[in-house]
Structure 1
Amino acid sequence: MKKVYILATGGTISAAGCEGKTTGYHDGKFELKDLLARVKGAEKLAKLEGEQVLNISSDDITWGDWLSLAGKIEKLSLRSDMDGFVVTHGTNTLEETAYFLNLVLKTEKPVVLTGSMRPATANSADGPQNLYEAIALAASEEAKGKGVLAAFSDLILSADRIQKVNCFRTDAFSGRDFGCIGYMQDSVPKFLQYPVENHTTHTRFTTEALKRIPRVEIAYFSADADPEILEFYGKTAEGLVIAGAGSGLFSKPWKEKIRGIAREIPVVRSSRVGNGMVSQDHCDEELGTIPGGTLTPVKARILLTLALAMGAGQGEIGEIFKQY
């Protein structure tokens, strides 16, 4: 039987509220042992070990928490008796944690994130089934070498494409234009496609290189948005991501501000839309910005931070965004 290590970090899957209700709950009320007690048949999927790494809302997760989590997984992955990993996580920033781990972890053993949209005390809590499927996926041979994955609401999603698309329903995640990469049918993974972007052992990024976390911010553009916020970021940040309208665009007043800022720090154009692609165009030539490709603003921020941490310059950052 395979051995799977579970790292619990909190989130709604660990939450408690009024019995039966799906709202008004508080995170961090249950620990890993309590979660596993609700998962019927988990002991038949794999030998389980684990620990409570954190017990917080994922809104409160930090770069330090990411580094600690990555370090634990990498150390445990060196054990010959360890076959895979599950991370229980709040849904609000699950996609960010997954993408960070996907870029820095150096293991081909399966790493699977999961969580829930309903607290453990709800009548139809979704956490136990999601955790059951995540354990099964982490213990499977099929998940090896496919980068960091998420198991949620019967879907298998890749870390580079996963996005939370619903803040209420249990099927809260999507692979966006790219779809899911497979389904979980109880304990059996059915892969439909494989991740094609560089990940884990195929990236240039390592946790050792993150001696200091550069400050990268996101500016959200809207109609008639005041460009003065860009002045603040230009003075305080080391990199900037613009969540632009449409294909990463913004107004003439914003362009004027960005033109000057991009001479001092790298500025990445992303889109607030959530689907599609921000590709190279005259805007980048005119302003000195970098197109964010298919990355959402929050993932573009992570990639830009890692690029800056390894000392990449403007030209190299552009190439990095093409690769990842």
Structure 2
Amino acid sequence: MITINPKKPGLKNIIILATGGTIAGTGEEGKTTNYQAGNLDIDTLVSSVSNIDKIANIYGEQIANVDSNDITIDHWLTLANKINELSKQDDIDGFVITHGTDTLEETAYFLDLTVKTNKPVVITGAMRPSTATSADGPLNLYQSVALAASELSIGHGCMVVFSDGIYSGRNVQKVNTFKTNAFNSIEFGCLGYMRDNVPYFFNKSIKPHTVDSQFDISGLNKLPVVSIAYFNIDADPLILDYLAERSEGVVIAGAGSGTFSSNWLNEIKNLEEKGIPVVRSSRIGSGIILRDETMDRYINCIPSYTLSPPKARILLSLALTKTKDFSEIGKIFSEY
């Protein structure tokens, strides 16, 4: 529980949950490289954003302060449970999570599936550390707070704000390694735009999320382990057997429309006999993976539809908390 003492009556009360990342990074003044992520605490981060106190009453909590490559499932469970707990307070209106960009899309999708509130949940970060010339973190954080404080944001699930764009947690992808407009939703487009502190919505995700999601992580201290195998020419199919020994499910980042060689397909039969579900995704960044009589001849081989391999891994892991039945897992993937 967080005690809310509104500093400015009439403004929404927004909780910022900080996890570190480039947005909290520092390095040589003016430079964008060779910096240390997660150096600034939440109070320092908020105090660096001009006029943020004019759009909402801010309350911060430091969940972690790490590079996003060091984010773990423990962090995910902590974040989701924290939001689910705090969202029960009537005097809390929305949430912002600060996060490193490298795995931001994974955290956004996990929260989209596991948070149980219609209150706005917004995740953001930065491509430049706080000490860089024209650091992008302050504007991203300012706009994220503004979005979380907007009535228009209620019921959109977990959203991502980056470089003036608003994206759904399900569809957002990092698409550039260093530019500040590093995120979009490929073929699905953005949900809308931020202009200063005003959101403009034009789209809405129709997939189940948050309060409409069937997944409940309360009481869980871990998730089923799911691994990702990357297919390439002449790739050894025994990697599937290796991963299956250490996992409860496997996602294949296949070529083209989620395809792979015949010897990989034959190995999937062995996994079927071991009770291991296999999700067929693609290393291509856009398009759709549909059922195919050749590729999905075994019932444990399930298409990912439009989910990227990392997001298919998240959905499969959550699906395994509900069922081990291959057909039921397939239905979950077609729904979500």
CA distance in 1, matches of 2:227, 2:219: 20
Q: Cα 1:50–1:281, aligned 2, differ >3 Å: closer, same or farther? A: same
Which residue pairs with 1:267 in the alignment?
Answer: 278
- Aligned match of 2:314 in 291, 302, 310? 302
Counterpart in the other structure of 2:105: 95
Deviation at 1:311, TM superposition (A): 2.7
**Matched-pair contact (CA < 8 Å) for 1:284–1:290:** no
* Aligned-partner SS, 1:262: helix
- In the TM superposition, residue 210 of structure 1 has moved relative to its aligned partner by 3.3
- TM-score (structure 2 length as normaliser): 0.94
2:294 alignment partner, SS class: helix
- 1: CA distance, partners of 2:204 / 2:241: 42
Q: What corresponds to 2:3 in structure 1?
A: none
Q: 1:35: Cα distance to partner?
A: 1.0
Structure-to-structure mapping, 1:160-179, within 5 angstroms? 160-179=170-189
Offset of residue 211 of structure 1 = 5.0
For residues 81-120 of structure 1, what are the structure 2 equivalents within 5 Å? 81-120=91-130
The alignment status of 1:129 with 2:139, answered yes or no, reads yes
From 284, 289, 314, the equivalent of 2:326 is 314
Aligned partner (choices 190, 197, 204) of residue 200 of structure 2:
190
Counterparts of 2:186 and 2:320, CA distance in 1: 27
Whether the 8 Å contact between 1:284 and 1:291 is mirrored in structure 2 is no
Residue 323 (structure 1) aligns with: 335
Q: In the aligned structure 1, how far is the partner of 2:127 from the partner of 2:280?
A: 31
1:148-171 per-position Cα deviation (integer Å, ceiling 9, x unaligned): 001000000000000001011001
Q: 1:42 aligns with which of 10, 33, 52?
A: 52
> Structure 2 vs 1, CA of residues 182 and 65 (structure 1 numbering), >3 Å: closer, same or farther?
same
CA distance in 1, matches of 2:155, 2:310: 25
Letter of the 1:260 partner, please give it: N
Q: 1:209 to 1:270 in 2, by over 3 A?
A: farther
Give yes or no for contact 2:77–2:221 (8 Å, CA) kept in 1. no
Rounded to whole Å, the distance in 1 between the matches of 2:59 and 2:182 is: 28
How large is the Cα RMSD of the aligned pairs? 1.1
Q: 1:251 to 1:284 in 2, by over 3 A?
A: closer
The answer to whether the 8 Å contact 1:215/1:305 transfers is yes
For residues 33-85 of structure 1, give each alpha carbon's deviation from its aligned partner in whole angstroms, at most 9, with x where no partner exists: 11111111101110111111100011011111100111111111111111000
- Extract unaligned runs of 5+ from structure 2: 1-10
Paired residues of 1:133 and 1:151 also in contact (CA < 8 A): yes
- Which deviates more from structure 2 when the two are superposed, residues 299-308 or residues 221-230? 221-230
Report the alpha carbon displacement of residue 22 of structure 1 after superposing the two structures with TM: 0.3
- Which 5+ residue runs of structure 1 have no aligned equivalent? none
In 2: Cα distance, 1:133 partner to 1:322 partner:
33
Structure 1 vs Structure 2: percent identity of aligned residues?
52
Query: 1:70 aligned to 2:80?
Result: yes
Task: For 2:335, give the aligned amino acid.
Answer: Q
Contact 1:209-1:310 at 8 Å conserved across structures: no
**Whole-angstrom distance in 2 between the partners of 1:174 and 1:298:** 16
Does 2:241 align with 1:208? no
Aligned-partner residue type, residue 106 of structure 2: E
Alpha-carbon contact 1:243-1:271 (below 8 Å) kept? yes
Equivalent position to 1:32, from 38, 42, 49: 42
| Whole-angstrom distance in 2 between the partners of 1:17 and 1:285 | 49
The one of 24, 27, 30 equivalent to 1:14 is 24
Aligned residue for 1:309, secondary structure, equals coil
Q: Which residue type is aligned with residue 213 of structure 1?
A: L
Match status 1:228 vs 2:261: no
Whole-angstrom distance in 2 between the partners of 1:34 and 1:212: 32
The whole-number CA distance in structure 2 between the counterparts of 1:204 and 1:38 is 39
Whether the 8 Å CA contact 1:241–1:301 is kept in 2: the answer is yes
| SS at 1:241 equivalent | strand
The 8 Å contact of residues 210 and 310 in structure 1, kept in 2 or not, is answered as no
Q: State the distance in 1 between where 2:270 and 2:309 align.
A: 21
